[in-house]
């Protein structure tokens, strides 16, 4: 905890930068600030740390270092993968994705539609799962890429990316997965998954904002989204964000080391919170299937109340949670994810996401369980409904 007054339950929005990560990156702001592309020693020294960091993040996903393209964020990674698939196959103008993707994918697909491409947004079942047969049947001869997220940021629900990759392989179509929510929570093995592209974002794994990666499988044709200098072996122009890349490398090491803790301790805390809410507050229910699901995420519907009101009163108690993805916070629109799962607008508007992380404690969970019943009762008492 950075502040004793903050109870942070919004780790799917962003995570606290780990102290070890801050330590690792500071020398690259203070002393080693040379340009890694320079030929003199002061620059090349920095380049060698870049190589080390690349090897570390590659190890996190079991990729080869050369398959890692550093980007500015998960959004850029998603946009770049889809852009590349279309640019390298100009005769293919169809993209297959789902109705529950993060806006980092969805808004780009909507832009493609306005540019004359065809996009299919596959619906999901009421429990949030995907019909694989429908997915397979929706692949067309002109499908350039299938892009399906691994873990949903709002509900934590996992899609079977390995099976989807196998379908795409059989059909000869490129496959991208947005795995932004998975590091430190799931084991990521791009070889085993057999994906062509995979996106990550460092600020979801205790590194700073503004750095992400796109895994591009060896021998998959790639056209850069950002052109400029020849950085990233010509796959992403722009002087490298060295300090953040080093931070990402250190965070990747920690994420691997923390994997078991996240799966056992954090899962236990999440279940304690979820069971406490569902068992202790009437008119509550979980959105989506209990499994397969990220071990840290719980999305709960509170009947008869608006999420905004809950979040305001939670905030007054020092508790940070969310009513959906960070990018839609502040807008009154019901979540597109919950709507796609068939939730009514009222249910979607009364739903809260709690997402835990390695810094949460049992005491913090109990604090939420102590505050929440009173908050809901107060809102229900004042609601005209
Ligand atoms: N994809 C998912 C599933 C996310 O949860 C997020 C961020 O919340 C993103 C993509 C976008 O990542 P970034 O904030 O690094 O652009």
C-alpha of residue 317 to centroid of ligand 1, in Å: 27
pLDDT at 383: 78
Tell the residue number behind the tokens 């990560």, with chain if given.
Answer: 21
User: How far is the centre of ligand 1, averaged over its atoms, from the C-alpha of 264 (Å)?
Assistant: 24
Distances (CA, A) of 243 to 182, 231, 248, 322: 23, 16, 9, 29
Q: Is the Cβ atom of 154 under 6 angstroms away from ligand 1?
A: no
Question: From the CB of 104, is ligand 1 less than 6 Å away?
Answer: yes
pLDDT at 5 (0 to 100): 80
Q: Tell me the CA–centroid distance for residue 381 and ligand 1, in Å.
A: 36
Q: CA quadruple 168, 98, 287, 319: dihedral positive or negative?
A: positive
203 CA: nearest ligand 1 atom: 15
Pocket-testing residue among 12, 161, 183, 204, ligand 1, by greatest number of atoms within 8 A of Cβ: 204
Q: Which atom of ligand 1 is nearest to the CA of 153?
A: 5
Residue 180 near ligand 1, beta carbon < 6 Å: yes
Ligand 1 pocket check for 155: Cβ under 6 Å:
no
CA dist 225 and 25 (Å) reads 27
Closest-CA residue, ligand 1 atom 12, reads 74
CA angle 51, 53, 58 (to 5 degrees): 95
Give the predicted TM-score (pTM) of the model.
0.96
HSE-up (13 A, CA, CB side) for residue 116: 4
pLDDT of residue 73: 98
Residue 302, token pair as written in the block:
């509170």
CA distance readout (Å), 301 to 288, 296, 321, 329, 345: 10, 17, 13, 16, 11
Contact, 278 vs 300, CB < 8 A? yes
Q: Report long-range pairs for 255-258 (Cβ below 8 Å, ≥24 apart).
A: 255/60, 255/183, 255/184, 255/205, 255/206, 256/59, 256/60, 256/184, 258/184, 258/358
Is residue 212 within 6 Å of ligand 1 at its C-beta?
yes
Shortest-distance atom of ligand 1 to CA 151: 3
Ligand 1 centroid, distance to 281 Cα (angstroms): 31
Q: Report whether 183 contacts 158 (CB < 8 A).
A: no
Of the residues 104, 183, 353, which should be mutated to test ligand 1's pocket, given the most ligand atoms within 8 Å of the CB? Answer: 104
Assess whether the C-beta atom of 356 lies below 6 angstroms from ligand 1.
no
The verdict on whether omega for the bond into residue 292 sits within 30 degrees of 0, i.e. cis, is: yes
Helix (H) or strand (E) holding 165: helix 161-171
Which portions of the chain are predicted below pLDDT 70? 1-4, 324-332, 384-385
User: What is the C-alpha separation between 145 and 213, in angstroms, rounded?
Assistant: 19
Spatial distance between the Cα atoms of 174 and 197, rounded to a whole number of angstroms: 8
Any idea which residues carry the catalytic annotation? Answer: 327
The span from the CA of 332 to the CA of 352, in Å, is 13
Q: Is 280 helix (H, G, I), strand (E, B) or coil?
A: helix
- Report yes or no: 120 and 147 within 8 Å, Cβ to Cβ: no
**Angle made by CA atoms 60, 62, 63, in degrees to the nearest 5:** 110
Pocket-testing residue among 17, 74, 225, 294, ligand 1, by greatest number of atoms within 8 A of Cβ: 74
For ligand 1, is residue 244 a contact (CB within 6 Å)? Answer: no
Give pLDDT tens digits for 255-279: 999 898 778 999 999 999 999 999 9
Q: Residues 277, 360: contact at Cβ < 8 Å?
A: no
Residue 73 Cβ contacting ligand 1 at under 6 Å: yes
Phi, psi of 129 (to 5 degrees): -85, 170
- Give 180 Cα–ligand 1 centroid separation in angstroms: 6
> How is residue 86 written in tokens?
């279309």
């Amino acid at each position: 905890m950075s502040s004793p007054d903050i109870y942070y339950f919004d780790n799917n929005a962003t995570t606290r930068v780990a102290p070890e990560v801050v330590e690792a990156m500071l020398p690259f702001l203070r002393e080693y600030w040379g340009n890694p592309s320079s030929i003199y020693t002061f620059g090349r020294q920095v380049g060698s740390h870049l190589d080390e960091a690349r090897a570390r993040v590659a190890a996190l996903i079991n990729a080869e270092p050369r398959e890692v393209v550093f980007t500015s964020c998960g959004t850029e990674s998603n946009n770049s993968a889809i852009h590349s698939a279309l640019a390298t196959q100009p005769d293919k103008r169809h993209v297959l994705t789902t109705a529950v993707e993060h806006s980092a994918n969805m808004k780009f697909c909507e832009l493609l539609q306005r540019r004359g491409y065809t996009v299919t947004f596959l619906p999901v079942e009421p429990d949030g799962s995907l019909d694989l047969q429908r997915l397979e049947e929706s692949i067309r001869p002109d499908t350039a890429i299938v892009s399906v997220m691994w873990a949903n940021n709002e509900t934590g629900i996992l899609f079977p990316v390995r099976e989807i990759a196998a379908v795409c392989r059989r059909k000869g179509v490129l496959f991208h997965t947005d795995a932004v929510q998975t590091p430190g929570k799931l084991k990521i093995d791009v070889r085993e998954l057999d994906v062509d592209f995979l996106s990550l974002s460092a600020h979801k794994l205790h590194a700073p904002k503004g750095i992400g990666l796109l895994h591009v499988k060896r021998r998959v044709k790639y056209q850069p989204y950002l052109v400029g200098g020849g950085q990233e072996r010509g796959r992403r122009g722009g002087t490298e964000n060295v300090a953040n890349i080093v931070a990402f490398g250190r965070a990747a090491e920690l994420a691997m080391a923390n994997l078991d803790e996240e799966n056992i301790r954090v899962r236990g805390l999440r279940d304690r919170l979820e069971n406490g809410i569902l068992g202790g507050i009437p008119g509550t229910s979980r959105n989506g299937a209990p499994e397969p699901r990220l071990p840290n995420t719980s999305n709960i519907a509170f009947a008869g109340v608006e999420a905004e009101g809950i979040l305001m009163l939670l905030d007054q108690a020092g508790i940070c949670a969310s009513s959906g993805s960070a990018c839609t916070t502040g807008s009154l629109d019901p979540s597109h994810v919950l709507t796609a799962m068939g939730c009514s607008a009222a249910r979607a508007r009364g739903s809260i996401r709690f997402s835990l992380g390695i810094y949460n404690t049992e005491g913090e969970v109990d604090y939420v369980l102590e505050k929440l019943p009173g908050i809901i009762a107060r809102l229900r008492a004042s609601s005209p409904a």
